[in-house]
Structure 1
Amino acid sequence: MSDTASISHPSARFDWGNFLRTYSILFILLGMVILFGIITGGRFLQPTNLLNVVVQVAPIGIIGLGMMAAIITKGIDLSVGSTAALAAVVAASLAQVPGEGTFFAGLPRLPIFVSVIAALLVGTLVGGVVGSLVAIFRIPPFVATLGMMTAARGAANLYSDGRPISNVAWKFNLIGAGITPIFILVLAAVIMWFVLNRTRFGRHIYAIGGNEMAAKVSGISVPKTQFKIYALIGLLAGVAGIILTARTGAGAPTYGLVMELDVITAAVIGGTSFSGGIGTVWGVMAGTMIIGVINNGLSLMGVSTYWQWVVKGAIIVVAIIIDERKNRRR
């Protein structure tokens, strides 16, 4: 009787250490919200401001879902901001109200879905090119996406003649109105969760990140999976470009500058490991919210954008150091 009791007690104990490790990012997020609420005299905690925080980071979170997949497989994509900008100017040019000074003179008003599909195709095409460079030509993701970052930004400027394309139809702008960007973010997160946890493609992503050689031996096509990942990132960047255009009523080749920093930061502080094999959708979402809180909170405090970059850069370094220490313990 006493032996049975002695065995049952340990299993009944709650593992606080594991609980804190698993949900630490949520406590950090909550702590930052409270801290900025106190520092800004309650302005940060206004419902309209909190809603604005989530709306502003929706494009970051959407792309972050794809970036997570790349980092899980020990890759990265530095071209996401430029891809979003290219998709944005394409969407704006096709969603303009006909009249003088329009991008395509004489073109009749097109259905909104035409501009949306065009932007998504452009994003996917850019991602597909990156995927081909990585998967077929075996160019390191950092190098391939660094080149595409410059090329896509140049293409966006060439397409728009270096100027914003405005006078976008009001129906298109509904995509960025109210909480619609939040709905799109949540939908993208749900779909990505399903892909990672319930499909063969998702299992292949984690397998390659965990041990690429073992994945090859087990019959997984690493190049095919890599191509799909970067095409997916391009598609999500296209979605982000559409939202950016719809929120502002214009598409500009300057959209997405330094966006890759926010996207990578969101994924890394959300627990996605550069060592590969580790990353979760909810972690990326939490990381995205932290980025939004930092951006908005520091802005309310009057901190310049340049210092915000410094803060986020430091966060990436700290997150990587913590990740490396975790890997050494494994």
Structure 2
Amino acid sequence: MKQNTAGAEKKSALKRLFEIREFGVICALIIMVLLLSVFAESFFSASNFLTILRTVSTNGIIAVGVTFVILTGGIDLSVGSGLALCGAFAAATFNGTGSSVLAAVVALVTGLLLGLFNGVLIAFFDVPPFIQTLVTMTAARGIVYIFCDGTPIPEVGAFIGGIGRGRVLGIPNPVILTVIVFAAGWFLLNKTTLGRYVYAIGGNEECTKLSGVNVRRYKMMPYIISGVTSALACLILIGRLNSAQPSMGDKFEMDAIAAVVVGGTSLSGGSGTMVGTLVGALIIGVLMNGMNMLGVDSYAQYIVKGAVILFAVLLETRKNKNSK
């Protein structure tokens, strides 16, 4: 009798494991790491893993904000250009005042205002998210080039430099900041009213509105979060480079969306997790690192990345069809 009970408990535990939404992408990440450890020399090393985590940090932090947006059924194409604008304003502030802390604050406020701009027009003026964020992406990039006169702005100060290049107990600060941002994102998504309404809006916006929720306000908030996470990622990047370049953040929106989609978040909204996004960002980072180590042509890497995204979308589409 006890053996039967133990066997049932084992089966139940195994079933629960396979029911975990992130199980598939976690398995994919593990398999990828094992294969690259065999075929790519020096891949499986502590120093390389730290390199991957440091590289993933920028995209991972942006992906946290993009996760909130996509869960509502929206999209944010402006994160890359917004990052560049935040960086340009931050570097100019440091060069004008000599305060690296003030420069960081300016970057964060700029990101917040860009997100607010997108959020207000999408939530209160019913501009389609794709169109609105495309406009912001284009305009912000133009402003950056005009503001920088097409040339990098050097020097960002010790505080921002410490964010991008510093370490605590041997762990790079960008990695620590990424962990903090993901933890905050997980908490907001799973333990707050905002998170519950984000899922509800993405699942059925009309029903959520009829239930008395201020949909416009909660639809606006994810874009503000996305703007702030882009600014945080900007601090890492300009801190690492010790300059702000007008071309910074180019195609970053594609990498962030890729991480979110590969992590299992539905592009139609209402379904996805922050853990999945983290694993998705790691998959993209491990894939790019492994291809570099294997000497894969840089142009071919775009094709491989596109194939991975397409595969993730096809899996999501098939799963949605099966659930109906």
Q: TM-score, normalised by structure 2?
A: 0.92
1:257 Cα deviation (Å)? 0.8
Alignment match of 2:290 (pick from 297, 304, 312): 297
Structure 2 match to 1:167: 155
Identity among equivalent positions (%) equals 37
1:10 Cα deviation (Å)? 5.1
Q: Does 1:54 align with 2:42?
A: no
Alignment match of 1:113 (pick from 80, 96, 101): 101
Is the contact between residue 95 and residue 172 of structure 1 (CA under 8 Å) also seen in structure 2?
no
1:180 Cα deviation (Å)? 0.5
Structure 2 match to 1:279: 272
Q: Does 1:130 align with 2:128?
A: no
Structure 2 match to 1:83: 82
Unmatched 5+ stretches in structure 1: 97-103
Q: Does 1:30 align with 2:30?
A: yes
Deviates more, 1:5-14 or 1:268-277: 5-14
Amino acid at match of 1:158: I
1:305 Cα deviation (Å)? 2.8
1:310 Cα deviation (Å)? 1.5
Unmatched 5+ stretches in structure 2: none
Is the contact between residue 130 and residue 148 of structure 1 (CA under 8 Å) also seen in structure 2?
yes
Matches within 5 A, 1:219-238: 219-238=212-231
**Pair 315,18 (structure 1): closer, same or farther in 2 beyond 3 Å:** farther
Is the contact between residue 262 and residue 312 of structure 1 (CA under 8 Å) also seen in structure 2?
no
Structure 1 CA distance, aligned partners of 2:234 and 2:17?
Answer: 37
Amino acid at match of 1:169: G
Amino acid at match of 1:131: G
Superposed CA offset, 1:167-222 (max 9, x none): 33234211112311111111111111111111111111011111111101111122
Q: Does 1:67 align with 2:66?
A: yes
Superposed CA offset, 1:80-123 (max 9, x none): 11111111111122234xxxxxxx4xxx422x221111001111
Is the contact between residue 90 and residue 107 of structure 2 (CA under 8 Å) also seen in structure 1?
yes
Amino acid at match of 1:292: G
Structure 2 match to 1:100: none
Structure 2 CA distance, aligned partners of 1:300 and 1:154?
Answer: 35
Alignment match of 2:307 (pick from 296, 309, 314): 314
Is the contact between residue 85 and residue 256 of structure 1 (CA under 8 Å) also seen in structure 2?
yes
Q: Does 1:19 align with 2:8?
A: no
**Pair 117,10 (structure 1): closer, same or farther in 2 beyond 3 Å:** same
Q: Does 1:323 align with 2:305?
A: no
Structure 2 CA distance, aligned partners of 1:299 and 1:201?
Answer: 40
Amino acid at match of 1:200: T
- Three-state SS of the structure 1 residue aligned to 2:244 is coil
Structure 2 CA distance, aligned partners of 1:50 and 1:272?
Answer: 25
Superposed CA offset, 1:233-275 (max 9, x none): 0111011111100011111111111111110111111111113
Structure 2 CA distance, aligned partners of 1:274 and 1:137?
Answer: 22
Which 4+ residue blocks in structure 1 deviate beyond 4 angstroms?
A: 5-12
Structure 2 CA distance, aligned partners of 1:154 and 1:200?
Answer: 37
| Number of aligned positions between the proteins | 316
- Three-state SS of the structure 1 residue aligned to 2:243 is coil
Amino acid at match of 2:12: F
- Three-state SS of the structure 2 residue aligned to 1:183 is helix
- Three-state SS of the structure 2 residue aligned to 1:14 is helix
Pairwise CA RMSD: 2.0
Structure 2 match to 1:99: none
